[in-house]
Chains A and B, each alone.
Chain A
Amino acid sequence: MEKEILFIPSRLTVPTYKKLPENVQPRFLEDEGLYIGARPEVARANQNIMENRLLTQEPGRRWFGDDGRILALPSPIKQFPSRPSVLTQDQSIKAELETVYKKAVKYVHVSKHMTGSVDPPGNFQLDIDISGLIFTHHPCFSREHVLAAKLAQLYDQYLARQQRNKAKFLTDKLQALRNAVQTGLNPEKPHPSLDTTQKTINEYKSEIWQTRKLRDMEQEKDRALLKTIIKVWKEMKSLREFQRFSNTPLKLVLRKEKVDQKADEGAHEAEIQAEISELLEEHTEEYKQKMEEYRTSYQQWKAWKKAQRAKKKKKKQASEEYPEDEIEAASPEEDPVKPTPPEPVDRAVIEQQVRKRAAQSRRRPGEPTLLPELSLAGSVTPNDQCPRAEVSRREDVKRRSVYLKVLFNNKEVSRTVSRQLGADFRVHFGQIFNLQIFNWPESLTLQVYETVGHSGTTLLAEVFLPIPETTIVTGRAPIEEVEFSSNQHVTLDHEGVGSGVPFSFEADGSNQLILMTSGKVSHRVAWAIGENGIPLIPPLSQQNIGFRSALKRADAISSIGTSGLTDMKKLAKWAAESKLDPNDPNNAPLMQLISVATSGESYVPDFFRLEQLQQEFNFVPDEELNRSKRFRLLRLRSQEVPEFRNYKQIPVYDREIMEKVFQDYEKRLQDRNVIETKDHIDTHRAVVAKYLQQVRESVINRFLIAKHHFLLADLVVEEEVPNISKLQQPSRSSRTFSEKRAASPSTHSPTHSADYPLGQVLVRPFVEVSFQRTICHTTTAEGPNPSWNEELELPFRAPNGDYSTASLQSVKDDIFINIFDEVLYDVLEDDRERGSGIHTRIERYWLGCVKIPFSTIYFQARIDGTFKIDIPPVLLGYSKERNMIMERGFDSARSLSEGSYITLFITIEPQLVPGESVREKFDSQEDEKLLQATEKFQAECALKFPNRQCLTTVIDISGKTVFITRYLKPLNPPQELLNVYPNNPQATAELVARYVSLIPFLPDTVSFAGVCDLWSTSDQFLDLLAGDEEEHAVLLCNYFLSLGKKAWLVMGNAIPEGPTAYVLTQEQSHYLIWNPCSGHFYAQFDTFCPLKSVGCLIGPDNIWFNIQEYDSPLRINFDVTKPKLWKSFFSRRLPYPGLCSVQ
């Protein structure tokens, strides 16, 4: 029962015929070249079950393909996941990042020129075949040998020339050219264009001329060479006769080749005639030209002459009237020389010239051609017939032997056997060295050694062999000769002429010659071929590592190496070798590329295009983009042009954009190079203002770039790395501060004013504060030491209502605090009314003022202190009350600074957050070590005293970081200042301080909107005629240094400037603090010194950071030599490297 219902398919393989329609053979599409994708993998058994199951169903066969297998789509599963899964566990991520231990592998060769470990152990082979050595000069050469060598050399030269046979070639060329001219001139032939023929004929002619010259030269050389050979041979013969023996078997035979006298003569004559006629033609041409020139110049001359004559006539008349003129006019200008007509061409002269030259350079007609033949057929006189000296020479030669060392990469790898020097000074080695190498050869050198008898060997010379190109393999390499020479000096006591010593052929010793040992090594260097026919050459990629320069000829494409995908041919080859399925759609792009590349029709650009899809994304053509106002606005905004930086809601339509939007911008662009003089006092200031504007712009641009450059700290708020001391106070300092501020909401409140030395008993001062067109004043107080204790509130409005940091930083408003005296005048005229009414007039007398820039309050957040009041030098009707001061015991403190003071406290409510300065790391030319040291120093200082200013590097006007001590260097103050008080150094110092203080003050924060503090050098400062405290301080300090004072720059906080720079000088017993901007100076213990805290001192060669408990100048010791009080930047650990000044 069960079996009827259930069907269990068989696991056996179904025969193919069952799966196909009857009488159909299975087709294998893949064999027919069609692409069949890889089938998904299914177990054979499962497949059989499936097939069996399908076959039992009725239309079973349609499930089978032509090849009798179940139809299947190509497997859709990729080899690798294309997208990492989103929900990967942390552990699996870590697994990816987990490091894998690999056993350390020792490198066998540590050379940088090593073949990579990937390559099979590189057994590359270089075959060096040294066949022999010939000395072209050797100390043991006899005179005859010298001549023989010379003769051999000349003969070689002759043979080489003969082989090239340049003279013959040129003669043929000349002939051909002449023929061409002839045919060109032939009038019978039809001319395609007369013009061109004329031109070509001219060209031919010039070429004929050149060729003839060349040929003549060659012929002359040939002849000269032949003559020299004969001369040397004659010399040799005479020498042999003279010494009555011969050392060399050299023999020169001159073979005469008979020529047909008549024909030769005819040819010669014809040649000469042709030449003459050509020369004649040339000369006539030249003559014509010259004649033309002559005519024109003659005309000119004639005209001049005529004019001269007319002048003379006039002069004659004139001279009668004014005889004095004669003398003056008598100095005539240089007469043009009368031109001489050129000589006409003389045929006879030319003929003479040509014949002369022919006789010189050519064989005379009919003369037999001489063919020298050098042979070794001569006999050498045997020893017993030679004189003693010669015999000893020969014996000496016999004692000498030569061998060669082969050096590979400057290491000796092998050497030849030592061979005796032959009588002909030839050595035959015939040895082949097989160098098994790993590396690409760096150099191949042969060293020639000579051994004399049993004494030591001497190195004669080194021969450098060229490294063969990769195409040169054994069997194909030609034998090459490399010359060598040695600078050895050898003098011998026998017939040998020696080396490097003069000798002569003449009996009287004249005509001396100095010859050096020299010779030739004949060798053959090639790459060996392995057993399988592959040359054993190290891969080229290797040679590129170390020897790029040495092997410039290396093939560029093959040196690309493994990235051979760029090379189409390689790619195609690879495709062919790896038998890519051309029908696989996966390979389609590759195949297409290869087919295009190999067809050679493709245009392979030799450039690389960035953003090649840019065209696709252009939504409007460029013209429209440039025309449209909207697009212009958008572009300017994205470029952050100041006018448009914050432009909001750029209108949709061009018509909604008003022309005037661009007006300011365009005006600025125009004005950029125009200097307006009417706004300024003089042009210099205008130029400076312009310059400052440009500096400002460039700084702002840098700033804007920096603004887009975020650090982690800008984006992420994170606790700093905690240390023990900080753990106890985890609250953020800024937070506590703000709370404190909220508790004391006092605004501009001059609390009390210190004493007035204005000796009027009834002085009734009051204070008026004005800020941004708002004026407030206090009530009137009585007496010269009034106390108001009042709070004044003045509203503050940011420009354009923009309370952003940038705009607040650029507020240039000042707070003016004026002190007035209120005087009551009784104006009642009628005494009778005095009982019934009071009639008084109130008058205000201005006593002085204090000016505080808003930027100071903004950056300081609050100002609290006593300020010196600027009072006019003379206050009429007021006098100082001295005894009162004496009473109060201020005398010692006030001895140096007398004046009126006001104590006040200013803050802003609510608190405005001061902008943070950019901490962009500006590039620097300082040493990297120094920069690191500065960072360390600053970090250390900030850790100890976070509120104290520590300055080590500053930014100069070009935006570079400069070490601060470079700014300090003695600079001479103007001589005029020194001459005023030649004997009073203190007065001179005060004068210098006043001079510096007179230079206008321009705070950087205003000019650079809080971007950064730029330090200009004193030179730039004097040039710009404006600067802030640092520039003043630097200049003053430099002047003081040149005056011989001990001076430092003091970085600290002062009132009202805030963080600022003062100058400290050491007098005999005390220290003086100078305010560079006002020119005032204060003693160290002056209570009214505006400098309230000292952060660091900067000298020309060091920086000292204040590590004392207090920072008020009153309470600190300025002795920088004490390391417990002052932390110095340069110390024994980091000595002062001697930085040069930027001044």
Chain B
Amino acid sequence: MAAANPSVFLLMVNGQVESAQFPEYDDLYCKYCFVYGQDWAPTAGLEEGISQITSKSQDVRQLLVWNFPIDVTFKSTNPYGWPQIVLSVYGLDMFGNDVVRGYGAVHVPFSPGRHKRTIPMFVPESTSKLQKFTSWFMGRRPEYTDPKVVAQGEGREGAGPRIFLEHVTDEGLVRAQKVTMSVPTGALYLPVRDMGRSSPLYRREG
């Protein structure tokens, strides 16, 4: 029975959140999570994770190194909704409040192999100067209701861009996350243009 054992393809992601450059901040930790479409489901591994707190390296690079591993496997029937990894970085501010330092998202690479991705990070900005001050003072910076919104397009159309362009500010000069991930699924091959036809190259899940 076909339905009992549906054909899927697998996407295995393993890699790590290597390091970050936040020149202005120190002692940060990061969270990662995945955003994927309706046809996707995680089959193994962790979908979310929180890293340890790391301090800046004492050299010129001033890297914040986490080397935090990611290992997750998805199954899917449709390339639509390809997983995105969403990273959010948090740290303590000078009053000891836990505040968000940056959000960022990137698609999981489409081709197998080793990839390095650098993600620019940003945070939403207060709507007014007064709020900016009070939020700084009280340690309650504006943050997204859900970090996953940075990987979603909804709400950015129409009136949306106003929200994002006006209030999202770049955090610092260099804000990079290096994520390396490899997609070592031997049988995975997805001709993107041909997605509609049932390709014999899909791997059937045992």
Contacts and interface: CB of A to CB of B under 8 A. Distances in A.
* Interaction A to B: yes
Contacts of B163: 710-712, 715-716
B3 A712 contact: no
A400 to B, nearest CB: 73
Given A619-B195, A717-B145, A721-B131, A649 B39 contact: yes
A259 B131 CA distance: 108
Contact of A649 (B6, B124, B155, B167): B6
B115 to A, nearest CB: 20
B7 interface: yes
A717 B99 CA distance: 12
A802 interface: no
B7 A648 contact: no
A710 B167 contact: no
Summarize A's interface: helix, strand, loop or mixed: loop
A648 B39 contact: yes
A653 B197 contact: no
B3 A647 contact: no
B52 interface: no
B138 A730 contact: yes
Contacts of A718: 124, 126-127, 131, 135, 142
A239 to B, nearest CB: 84
A719 B141 CA distance: 8
A715 B144 contact: yes
Contact of B173 (A87, A648, A719): A87
A651 B140 contact: no
Nearest to B170: A90
A448 B149 CA distance: 76
A314 interface: no
Interface string B40-58: 1100000000000000000
Contacts of A650: 38-39, 77-78
B119 to A, nearest CB: 13
A714 B155 contact: yes
Contacts of B76: 649
Nearest to A657: B3
B77 A651 contact: yes
Contacts, number: 108
A620 B7 CA distance: 21
A708 B3 contact: no
Contacts of B188: none
B59 interface: no
Given A620-B197, A649-B39, A717 B144 contact: yes
Interface string B101-137: 0000000000000000000000010111011001100
Interface in B155-173: 155, 158-160, 163, 167, 173
A646 B37 CA distance: 11
Interface string B141-157: 01111000100001100
A715 B3 CA distance: 39
Contacts of A716: 124, 142-145, 163, 167
Nearest to B149: A715
Contacts of A712: 127, 163, 167
Given A712-B167, A718-B131, A719-B138, A648 B198 contact: no
Contact-residue bracket for chain A: 35 or more
Which of B76, B77, B144, B158 lies at the interface centre, i.e. has the most chain A CB atoms within 10 A of its CB?
B77
B173 A708 contact: no
B8 interface: yes
A17 B127 CA distance: 71
Contacts of B173: 87
A631 interface: yes
B160 A649 contact: no
A89 to B, nearest CB: 8
Contact of A708 (B7, B142, B155, B167): B155
Nearest to B75: A649
Contacts of B186: none
B165 to A, nearest CB: 12
B145 A722 contact: no
B202 interface: yes
Interface string B1-13: 0110011110000
A653 B155 contact: no
A100 interface: no
Contacts of A719: 131, 134-135, 138, 140, 142
B24 interface: no
A847 to B, nearest CB: 50
Contacts of A651: 2-3, 6-7, 77
Contacts of B61: none
B41 A656 contact: no
Nearest to A654: B198
A735 interface: no
A634 B38 CA distance: 10
Contacts of A624: 196
Interface in A582-640: 619-620, 624, 628, 631, 634, 637
A714 B196 contact: no
B78 A634 contact: yes
A656 B3 contact: yes
Contacts of B135: 718-719
A647 B7 CA distance: 16
A560 to B, nearest CB: 30
A118 interface: no
B106 to A, nearest CB: 16
B192 to A, nearest CB: 9
B194 A619 contact: yes
A656 B193 CA distance: 22
Interface string A400-434: 00000000000000000000000000000000000
Given A717-B144, A718-B126, A722-B134, A637 B198 contact: no
Contacts of B198: 652-654
Contacts of A649: 6, 8, 38-41, 76-77
A709 interface: yes
B206 to A, nearest CB: 16
B145 A653 contact: no
Contacts of A656: 2-3, 6-7
Interface in A85-101: 87
A654 B7 CA distance: 11
B20 to A, nearest CB: 17
A652 B8 contact: yes
A647 B78 CA distance: 13
Contacts of B195: 619
A556 interface: no
B8 A710 contact: no
B55 to A, nearest CB: 25
A652 B77 contact: yes
A658 interface: yes
B107 to A, nearest CB: 19
Interface string A335-355: 000000000000000000000
A579 interface: no
B61 to A, nearest CB: 16
A655 interface: yes
Given A651-B7, A716-B163, 20 more contacts: A619-B195, A619-B196, A631-B196, A646-B38, A649-B40, A649-B76, A650-B39, A650-B77, A651-B6, A652-B7, A652-B78, A710-B154, A711-B159, A715-B149, A716-B124, A716-B142, A718-B135, A719-B138, A721-B130, A722-B134
20 contacts: A624-B196, A648-B38, A649-B77, A651-B6, A651-B7, A652-B8, A652-B77, A652-B78, A653-B2, A654-B198, A708-B154, A709-B155, A710-B155, A710-B163, A712-B167, A714-B155, A715-B124, A716-B144, A717-B143, A719-B134
